[in-house]
């Protein structure tokens, strides 16, 4: 059986690196490549740059070289805010985005570039990892650095859905740096899990569980042409049934935004 060639952009991010590592664990199914901006970061996370492309998602030439011949593109790129300066005592910290790293440039134009190139090169499946909250212009994350990050992410999601390429859009709740595979995952739509979480459970999910969803979206046919929000029950929730049947989980999801 031939292996699928998969490329992960944003591969040096906290979630992106987990996806790459998980895909390497199923190397009998996938030939895995990563795309990141920093050679130093790639070496720090993976030991070498073998299997990686180094560049910027706004550079069409480098990006096209990386995507050529791939079956699936996994998009995990995202604008990242930074603190302006240490806050004075009693004051809240202020954040900004670096020059060239605004959400409009990364989460909209950068993702649009990737989608357009993927379509041009005949890639047949794009998995896009985003965030919940995109239906609410007044969400606190949109205020950070005046970036409207969730709105630009939502625009890229809509563009992908309308592109004609098979898609899977995973909109995660607040990301936790906790072990995966120990919780029940709950899927929803249009931020209803944010505005009305079932039984008042936290609207969060471990990064490792998000990474596993990406891997399963590559395996399970039920994940194609679906877009969904996802959170998890707390690990110590007595009512929880740990999610293991990902085919059934994807069957609960629906197409479109």
Q: Alpha-carbon dihedral of residues 37, 14, 210, 51, nearest 10 degrees?
A: 40
- Which one of the listed residues 131, 239, 243, 247 is annotated catalytic? 131
**Residue 241 CA: distances (Å) to CA of 52, 218, 230:** 37, 23, 15
2 catalytically annotated: no
Instruction: Say how far apart CA 128 and CA 119 lie, in whole Å.
Output: 14
Pair type for strands 52-54 and 30-36: parallel
Structure tokens at 127: 């998995």
Say if residues 62 and 53 touch (Cβ distance below 8 Å).
yes
Cα–Cα distance, 168 to 189 (Å, whole number)? 13
Task: Tell me the torsion sign for CA atoms 127, 128, 133, 136.
Answer: negative
Burial zone of 34 (CB within 10 Å; 0-12 exposed, 13-18 middle, 19+ buried): buried
d(CA 194, CA 189): 10
Tokens of 200: 């008042």
The residues annotated with a catalytic role in the active site are: 131
């Amino acid at each position: 059986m031939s292996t699928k060639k998969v490329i992960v952009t944003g591969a040096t991010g906290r979630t992106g690196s987990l996806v790459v590592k998980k895909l390497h664990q199923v190397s009998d199914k996938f030939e895995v490549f990563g795309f990141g901006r920093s050679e130093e970061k790639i070496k720090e996370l993976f030991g070498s740059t073998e299997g990686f492309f180094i560049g910027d998602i706004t550079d069409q030439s480098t990006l096209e070289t990386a995507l050529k011949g791939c079956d699936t593109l996994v998009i995990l790129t995202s604008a990242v805010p930074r603190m302006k300066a240490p806050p004075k005592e009693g004051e809240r910290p202020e954040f900004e985005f670096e020059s060239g790293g605004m959400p409009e440039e990364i989460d909209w134009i950068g993702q649009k570039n990737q989608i357009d190139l993927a379509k041009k090169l005949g890639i047949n499946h794009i998995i896009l990892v985003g965030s919940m909250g995109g239906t609410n212009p007044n969400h606190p994350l949109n205020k950070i650095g005046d970036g409207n990050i969730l709105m630009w992410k939502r625009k890229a999601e809509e563009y992908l859905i309308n592109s004609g390429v098979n898609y899977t859009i995973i909109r995660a709740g607040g990301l936790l740096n906790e072990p995966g595979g120990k919780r029940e995952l709950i899927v929803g739509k249009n931020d209803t899990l944010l505005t009305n979480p079932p039984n008042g459970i936290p609207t969060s999910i471990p990064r490792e569980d998000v990474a596993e969803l990406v891997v399963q979206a590559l395996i399970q046919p039920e994940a194609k042409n679906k877009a969904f929000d996802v959170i998890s029950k707390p690990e110590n929730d007595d009512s929880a049934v740990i999610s293991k049947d990902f085919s059934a989980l994807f069957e609960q999801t629906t197409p479109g935004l």
